[in-house]
């Protein structure tokens, strides 16, 4: 539609496809579930969506990711590691339909150790998730460098150094990590 004598200040292009960051990964597992995060001494809902285990086609590393159904916002994104206390599935309040675990998550602006709970609609789907999550931990324990990365992150966090993603203009799928001391200044 055009209006005579008026030109838009911004023109939008329609893209044929949208890059999600999952193009170089294979889906090992996907199931609809509701994700919660433990913050401020209570469980807070993060979103309902497809809980996925994605394996990188080149490196073989497996990550857990969940996007909200309606907004497609990533609300959980972390490697599935076999390093205690991370990624140790426990039933939430004795329920076999809800699993809890801790992980260094990078769904938001910086890597933060989060406690998650993932609730399923049926016992069978929850049991299948546990099996696939355990397989993913075993796969990642064979990947070079991943265990060392997580251990180094935990050690740096103990002395007050956190990680922040460096966003590239126009590309939010690719992120590089830069060290920043707890004082908020980035290290050069």
pLDDT value, residue 144: 73
pLDDT in tens, 60-100: 999 999 999 999 999 999 999 988 889 999 999 888 899 99
Q: Residue 130: pLDDT band by 50, 70, 90 thresholds?
A: very high
Helix segments in 33-180, DSSP class H: 123-141, 146-158
H or E stretch at 35: strand 25-39
pLDDT value, residue 154: 63
pLDDT value, residue 183: 36
pLDDT in tens, 153-185: 566 566 555 544 333 333 333 323 333 333 333
Return the higher-pLDDT residue of 37 and 148.
37
Mean pLDDT, the chain, rounded, equals 81
Note the pTM of the prediction, 2 decimals.
0.72
Distant-in-sequence contacts of 152-156, Cβ < 8 A, 24+ apart: 153/104, 153/111, 154/83, 154/104
Which positions ≥6 away from 168 have C-beta within 8 Å? 174, 175, 176
Report which DSSP code applies to 183: T
DSSP per residue over 100-119, as a string?
EEEEEE-SSSS-EEEEEEEE
């Amino acid at each position: 539609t055009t209006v005579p004598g008026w030109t838009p200040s911004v023109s939008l292009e329609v893209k044929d496809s949208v890059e999600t960051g999952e193009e170089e990964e294979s889906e090992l597992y996907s199931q609809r579930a509701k994700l919660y995060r433990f913050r401020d001494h209570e469980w807070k809902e993060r979103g309902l969506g497809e809980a996925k285990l994605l394996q990188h086609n080149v490196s073989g590393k497996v990550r857990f990711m969940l996007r909200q159904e309606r907004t497609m916002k990533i609300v959980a994104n972390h490697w599935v590691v076999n390093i205690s206390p991370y990624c140790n599935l426990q039933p939430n309040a004795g329920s076999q339909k809800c699993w809890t675990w801790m992980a260094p998550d990078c769904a938001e602006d910086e890597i933060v150790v989060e406690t998650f709970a993932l609730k399923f609609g049926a016992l069978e789907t929850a049991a299948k998730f546990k099996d696939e999550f355990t397989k993913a931990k075993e796969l990642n324990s064979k990947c070079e460098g991943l265990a060392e990365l997580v251990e180094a992150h935990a050690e740096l966090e103990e002395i007050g150094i956190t990680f922040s993603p460096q966003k590239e203009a126009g590309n939010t799928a690719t992120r590089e990590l830069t060290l920043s001391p707890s004082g908020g200044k980035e290290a050069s």
